[in-house]
């Protein structure tokens, strides 16, 4: 019998704990949101589906990407409110430091 072994990297958990009543929303990501074919969990996303880390000309972020999203299927889920985001995991996975303006724009999300 032949079989193939493939290593799969585990994605860090972005939610630190559930607060009850989390508000998740599906969003189609813009082509510019992807780096090397993936938009990483923990990335702040604006209304147009672009990856942002602060206030932009297009507007403020509306949520935090919950899981990694592949460019070949650009539909992801963002956390919009009533959740506690593990800021360390989000920053590490997305390769950013979440800006204070993002935290201000998302007052219903706790960053710990």
- Domains assigned to the chain: 15-111 (2.40.300)
The confidence score (pLDDT) of residue 49 equals: 94
Give bridge partners of residue 15 from the DSSP assignment: 85
Residues ≥6 apart with Cβ < 8 Å to 92: 12, 42
How many CB atoms neighbour CB 13 within 10 A?
Answer: 14
Question: Does residue 7 surpass a pLDDT of 90?
Answer: no
pLDDT in tens, 67-81: 999 999 999 999 999
The tokens of 7 are what?
A: 């290593």
pLDDT of residue 54: 74
Quote the pLDDT of residue 5. 76
Burial of 109 (0-12, 13-18, 19+ CB in 10 A): buried
Q: d(Cα 96, Cα 53) in Å, to the nearest integer? A: 8
């Amino acid at each position: 019998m032949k079989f193939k072994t493939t290593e799969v990297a585990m994605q860090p958990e972005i939610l630190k704990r559930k607060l009850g009543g989390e508000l998740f929303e599906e969003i189609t990501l813009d082509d510019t949101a992807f780096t090397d074919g993936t938009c990483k969990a923990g990335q702040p996303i604006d209304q147009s589906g672009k990856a942002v880390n602060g206030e932009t000309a297009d507007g403020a972020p509306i949520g935090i990407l919950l899981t990694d999203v592949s460019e070949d299927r650009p539909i992801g889920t963002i956390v919009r409110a009533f959740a506690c985001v593990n800021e360390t995991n989000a920053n590490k996975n997305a390769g950013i430091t979440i800006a204070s303006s993002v935290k201000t724009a998302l007052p219903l999300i706790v960053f710990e």
